[in-house]
């Protein structure tokens, strides 16, 4: 490929890569502790992301078998430096009204301390709730799914669940491998960028300016 052609393609693809972003991150199913749950994190606006926590792999209910310092109903971490963090539950969510608390240390499996958590509103296995949990996280700072981070023990999330055997306990999600789903505007940007590069190459080929 002629040098000018290679340079043009490289610059065009760099422009596309810089402009594109992911609106949803999927954290795969947990593999630690009681099985199992996974998490989808979606960008709502510059300051808000929405989490959907889905039961999977034999888990049947979210429960609360201890106080927040023992078994947080659901716990997560955010990058340092964020301010004014709060949660809310959108219309139609099975969960509503839970208060956001900070610094929960789980017992049982050593999932460590989580920066934020809230409890299932009912106590014990009898206060079980089916999933998914859907809630919004809002910050007065810019916030994106990439601000969900692992704690010092390597876990992004913990959930207190009941499995299909009727046993309750904490499940932890510690895998750093996430799937990125581009938002529609990013796909449009990608297509527009490719068309722009193609148009530039076509004009230069017609004018005879592309030579090695």
| Residues whose CB is less than 8 angstroms from the CB of residue 185 and which lie 6 or more positions away in sequence, other chains included | none
Break the chain into its structural domains and give their ranges. Answer: 1-10+184-212, 29-176
Q: Are 143 and 47 in contact (CB under 8 A)?
A: yes
pLDDT score, position 66: 60
pLDDT score, position 88: 95
Please tell me the least confidently modeled range out of 13-22, 59-68, 100-109, 183-192: 13-22
Handedness of CA 137, 138, 144, 148 (dihedral sign): negative
Dist. CA 206–CA 165, nearest whole Å: 70
pLDDT score, position 176: 60
Dist. CA 28–CA 194, nearest whole Å: 31
Angle, helices 184-207 vs 3-19, to 10°: value is: 160
Mean pLDDT of the chain: 75
**pLDDT tens column, 129-177:** 888 999 999 999 999 999 999 999 999 999 988 888 888 888 999 876 5
Q: Which H or E run contains 24?
A: strand 22-27
Q: Which residue has the higher pLDDT, 111 or 202?
A: 111
Q: Are 160 and 169 in contact (CB under 8 A)?
A: yes
Q: Which residue has the higher pLDDT, 75 or 123?
A: 75
**pLDDT tens column, 71-105:** 678 899 999 999 999 999 998 887 787 889 898 88
**Which pTM was predicted?**
0.72
């Amino acid at each position: 490929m002629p040098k000018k052609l290679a340079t043009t393609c490289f610059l065009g693809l760099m422009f596309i890569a810089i402009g594109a972003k992911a609106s949803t991150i999927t954290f795969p199913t947990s593999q630690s502790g009681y099985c199992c749950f996974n998490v989808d994190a979606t960008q709502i606006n510059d300051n808000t992301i929405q989490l959907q926590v889905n039961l999977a792999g034999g888990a049947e209910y979210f429960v609360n078998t201890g106080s927040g310092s023992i078994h947080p109903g659901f716990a997560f971490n955010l990058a340092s430096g964020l301010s004014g963090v709060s949660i809310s539950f959108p219309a139609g969510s099975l969960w509503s009204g839970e208060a956001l608390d900070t610094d929960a240390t789980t017992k049982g499996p050593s999932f460590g301390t989580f920066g934020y958590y809230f409890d299932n509103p009912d106590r014990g296995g009898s206060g079980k709730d089916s999933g998914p949990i859907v809630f919004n996280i809002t910050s007065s700072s810019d916030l994106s799914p990439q601000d969900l981070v692992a704690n010092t023990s390597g876990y992004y999330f913990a959930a207190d669940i009941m499995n299909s055997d009727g046993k309750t306990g904490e499940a932890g999600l510690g895998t750093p491998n996430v799937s990125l789903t581009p938002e529609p505007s990013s796909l449009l940007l990608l297509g527009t960028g490719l068309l722009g590069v193609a148009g530039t190459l076509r004009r230069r080929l017609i004018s005879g300016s592309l030579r090695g």
